Structure 1
Amino acid sequence: MTTDATSTTNAVMRGESGASLASAQERFEPVLVAAGADAKLLGEQLFALSDALDGSGGLRRTLTDPSLPAEAKAAVVRQLLGAFDDRVRDLAESLVALRWAQEPDLGHAVEHLALEGVLASAQAREALVTVEDELFRITRLLSGQRELRTALSDPQATVDNRIALVDRLFEGKVDDVTLLLAHRATTNLRHRRFVPNLLAYSDIAAERRRRLVAGVTSAVDLTPVQLDRLAGILERAYGRPVQLNVTVDSAVLGGLRVQVGADVIDSTMLSRLADARRRLVS
């Protein structure tokens, strides 16, 4: 399954910005764990900060200016976030003390940490797998619904109208975190459209569970034994647990297509991986 997650992962924010985001994640993760289900509030407040950064070039320039003392930037944060949770203010102050290669990277980092917060709240309720599955199912549901996809990504429509459409489609049918992320996906159209946003969020959910996401398209339904075998082959090949998102499509040539990130693997390649594994252990 491919995603356009270019603005939400430190894998893409390399160099100074990637290191800064990684540092912030390490600092914030214990806070999220301690917050439990309340981490959702922290995520929502970070979304608001991300929007403020995205909407004000002056604010971005001030908070990413390496020539300004960290305390001066922290004072701006305290004034801006006076009504926010102390944990969000503390995180924001630590973020502006870090170095960012480009102005937008700070906002992207805040957006990523907001997503981590919202997803951590689902994880605390043992609902993260449910949220990830629902995000995937929504994207599959919309794959054949061009008019709906267009309406959910229409920049000419008001944000309130797009959110109302999300509610009509999904409210009461999905987890609260899934619904919140769907709201965010239709609100935050600056870098991606609705469906690519959801796919990016699903990848971050998978990362929280320390799993890669493998999009599997099969000509026929796979049995539990086949799924276990496929997951095992991929996990040994990538050295990490792999989450399988399976779609059945009779038009798939060769019977099976697997995509992990930018890697596309057909049935023949899977057989070679399995054979190579057997030779290594024999």
Structure 2
Amino acid sequence: MNGASRDAQAAARESLTALTDNTSVDATQLADELAAVTGLLDREVRLRRVLADPSRSGEQKAELVRTVLGDRVGGPTVDLVSGMVRSRWSAPRDLVDATEELADSADLVAAERAGSLEETEDELFRFSRTVASAPDLRAALANPSADPEAKARLVQTLLGGKVRPATERLVTRLVSQPRGRSLEAGIEGLSKLAAERRDRSVAIVTSAVPLSDQQKERLGSVLARLYGRRMHLNLDVDPEVLGGITVRIGDEVINGSIADRLSEAERRMAG
């Protein structure tokens, strides 16, 4: 997103935070309803264009939201979406993308309330590793022509009762409503949202051998100081990794041995 949409998305996030600070709001229900709104806007091209039309007043668009959604979703969802359409969006698709992100964030709020946000984040990463190592499974889940309900049932078979409820819900929604995203990009996006919810960045660490607790603690500490924010380490082992370790933070990749890279990071900080 760029320009007006970035500002509108930021305002929507703040509205969600304010709404879910009230514990009487059912975050899981809110996630379901926002996901339903996302599906509606994704299907109805004319509706999303009208709701993102800068030539219409914010109140006109909010009234349309109340008319269309009033008997389909609860008051909190209507209020949240009404506020979103009062904002200015650079493109109609940005409105849909932001609504989808709010649905995912609401599920993460539910996980946070249950005290399982960190576990949800870890489970998303482990699921991504499982999919990466099983091409047939990935093909089944990512097949755009497959029945969404069949893919949802497959996720339930794989994860049902084995992961936190928020994890299963997030993955199910991703595979049944990918909206043009690859499975890998979708899971990475969910992991990033979870990390942001915990006020951390995600470092994907791949090493030739498992890291010791001391190495993990040192690596996390150095990366946090280097990037100026807390880091959540998603750890993976790949014997073929050259140099001992690879660290990916967003688009930046750091390669090299643990000792060399830590020493270099420390020198950079000292300088």
How far off its partner does 1:37 sit?
7.9
- Paired with 1:86 and 1:134, the residues of 2 have a C-alpha distance of 32
Partner of 1:172, secondary structure, is coil
1:245 paired residue number: 234
**1:140 maps to which residue?**
129
Q: Is the 8 A contact 2:148 2:177 kept in 1?
A: no
Partner of 2:207: 218
1-side partners of 2:27 and 2:64: how far apart?
24
Aligned 8 A contact 1:258 1:266 in 2: yes
Partner of 1:66: 54
211, 215, 228: which one aligns with 2:217: 228
**What SS class does the counterpart of residue 243 from structure 1 fall into?**
strand
Q: CA deviation at 1:271?
A: 2.3
Partner Cα separation in structure 2 for residue 270 and residue 200 of structure 1: 27
1:255 and 2:244 are equivalent in the alignment: yes
1:41 to 29, 35, 39: 29
CA distance in 2: counterparts of 1:170 and 1:199, whole angstroms: 18
Task: Give distance in 1, aligned partners of 2:191 and 2:265.
Answer: 26
Greater shift, 71-80 or 91-100, is seen at 71-80
Q: How far did residue 148 of structure 1 move?
A: 0.7
The letter of the residue matching 2:203 is: A
* Matched position secondary structure for 1:225: helix
Render the CA deviation track for 1:210-262: whole Å, top value 9, x for unaligned. Answer: 11000001111111111111011111111000000011111111101100001
- TM superposition shift of 1:97: 0.5
Between Structure 1 and Structure 2, how many residues are aligned?
Answer: 267
* Aligned-partner Cα distance in 2 for 1:260–1:82: 42
Aligned-partner residue type, residue 124 of structure 1: R
Mapped contact 1:217–1:246 kept (Cα < 8 A) = yes
SS at 1:35 equivalent: coil
> 2:179 aligns to what?
190
What is the distance in 2 between the residues matched to 1:272 and 1:97? 49
Q: Is the 8 A contact 1:17 1:105 kept in 2?
A: yes
> Deviation at 1:276?
2.8
Is this contact kept in 2: 1:54–1:107, CA < 8 A? yes
Match of 1:156 in 2: 145
Say which structure, 1 or 2, has more relative contact order (CA 8 Å, 6+ apart).
1
Runs of 4+ aligned residues of structure 1 deviating over 4 Å after TM superposition are none
2:7 to 16, 19, 24: 19
Aligned pair 1:205/2:194, yes or no? yes
Deviation per residue, 1:175-224 (Å, 9 max, x gap): 11111011111112222133331221111101111110000011111111
**Secondary structure in 2 aligned to 1:266?**
strand
Distance in 2 between residues matched to 1:237 and 1:90, nearest whole Å: 41
Note if 1:118 corresponds to 2:111.
no
Query: Could you tell me the percent identity over the aligned residues?
Result: 38
Query: Using a 3 Å threshold, how does the CA distance of structure 1 residues 28 and 16 change in structure 2: closer, same or farther?
Result: same
User: What are the ranges of 5 or more consecutive residues in structure 2 without an aligned counterpart?
Assistant: none
Indicate the residue corresponding to 1:272 in structure 2.
264
Contact 2:19 2:25 in 1 (8 A): no
Q: How far apart are 1:104 and its partner, in Å?
A: 0.3
CA deviation string 1:31-69 (max 9, x = no partner): 112237821111110011011111111001110111112
